[in-house]
């Protein structure tokens, strides 16, 4: 008999959370054993999704006790950085592997999670992006940085996104920085008439964030060289884009004891 991966979804009534629940329900090797969300507390998650009732009610929060009681294997978290940090600590102490899709965790929070994970011998997976195309975009950008030292990153997201720049833009800049040395781009005497016009600066890489209705998640990495430019772009048009990556992360994180950041670590 197949041993199913027991999954709890935090932020289950958000757009990414609902899409994750729908997809997990379709997997033969997974089952949903718990869901939480600030909205729709006490409602059946099946009803929230427009399906038949599943007998699984939306809780307002998760706790070490509730995770242990449900014998959860994986916590999938699509809340926000603040909640994801709190949830991850509870999960680790319950010996549940957190798969974190929320972006915005800072270096101190990540360091604390690493320490707690090490103490409990439990794995943690954090994904700046679950889209396989975005992972390839970052891989190609890192390779291109060997030949083009000047680069700007422009990321575009819907106007409800809270953090800027996106986790993907940060990860892209960090990957490029592993290849090229920090340099000053543009004219050495340039100045901004409006503060921020040249974007944020990560090791000399200018990063620009666009927030507009109608967008989902998009990013351009523009390299400039002598007489030429090279643009690497990824576009995500629906939340379905991320689901193959989410399902891959759940399977790869099952019983994992390592602390891993980035879906590229799970690709062959």
- Dist CA 150 CA 205 (whole Å): 8
Identify the three-state secondary structure at position 65. helix
Give yes or no: 158 in active site.
no
> Are the C-beta atoms of residues 91 and 117 closer than 8 Å to each other?
no
Phi/psi for 218 (5° steps) reads: -145, 150
What token pair was written down for 248? Answer: 């891959």
Is the CA virtual torsion 124, 234, 83, 74 positive or negative?
negative
> Are the C-beta atoms of residues 92 and 24 closer than 8 Å to each other?
no
- Dist CA 260 CA 146 (whole Å): 25
The owner of tokens 């929320």 is: 102
Residues whose CB is less than 8 angstroms from the CB of residue 75 and which lie 6 or more positions away in sequence, other chains included: 7, 8, 9, 10, 62, 67, 87, 88, 91, 96, 97, 98, 99
In the set 142, 157, 206, 218, the catalytic residue is: 157
Burial of 96 (0-12, 13-18, 19+ CB in 10 A): buried
Give yes or no: 208 in active site.
no
In the set 15, 139, 150, 161, the catalytic residue is: 161
For residue 206, which of 186, 190, 187 has the smallest C-alpha distance?
186
User: Would you please indicate which residues are annotated as catalytic (active-site) residues?
Assistant: 157, 161
């Amino acid at each position: 008999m197949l041993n199913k991966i027991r999954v709890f979804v935090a932020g289950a009534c958000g757009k990414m959370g609902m899409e994750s629940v729908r997809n997990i329900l379709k997997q033969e090797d997974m089952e949903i054993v718990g869901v939480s969300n600030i909205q729709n507390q006490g409602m059946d998650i099946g009803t929230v999704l427009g399906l038949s009732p599943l007998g699984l009610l939306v809780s307002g929060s998760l706790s070490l006790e509730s995770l242990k009681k449900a014998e959860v294997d994986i916590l999938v978290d699509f809340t926000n950085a603040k909640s994801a940090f709190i949830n991850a600590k509870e999960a680790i102490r319950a010996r549940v592997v957190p798969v974190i899709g929320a972006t915005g965790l800072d270096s101190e929070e990540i360091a604390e999670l690493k320490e707690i994970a090490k103490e409990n011998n439990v794995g943690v997976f954090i994904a700046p992006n679950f889209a396989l195309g975005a992972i390839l975009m970052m891989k190609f950008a890192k390779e291109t940085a060997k030949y083009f030292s000047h680069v700007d990153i422009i990321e575009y997201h819907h106007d409800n996104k809270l953090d800027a720049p996106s986790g993907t833009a940060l990860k892209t800049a960090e990957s490029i920085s592993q290849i090229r040395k920090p340099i000053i781009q543009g004219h050495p005497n340039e100045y901004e008439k409006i503060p921020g016009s040249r974007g944020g600066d990560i090791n000399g890489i200018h990063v620009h964030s666009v927030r507009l209705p109608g967008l989902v998640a998009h990013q351009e990495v523009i390299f400039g060289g002598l007489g030429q430019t090279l643009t690497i772009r990824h576009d995500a048009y629906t939340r379905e884009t991320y689901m193959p990556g989410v399902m891959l992360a759940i399977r790869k994180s099952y019983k994992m004891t390592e602390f891993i950041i980035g879906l590229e670590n799970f690709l062959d």
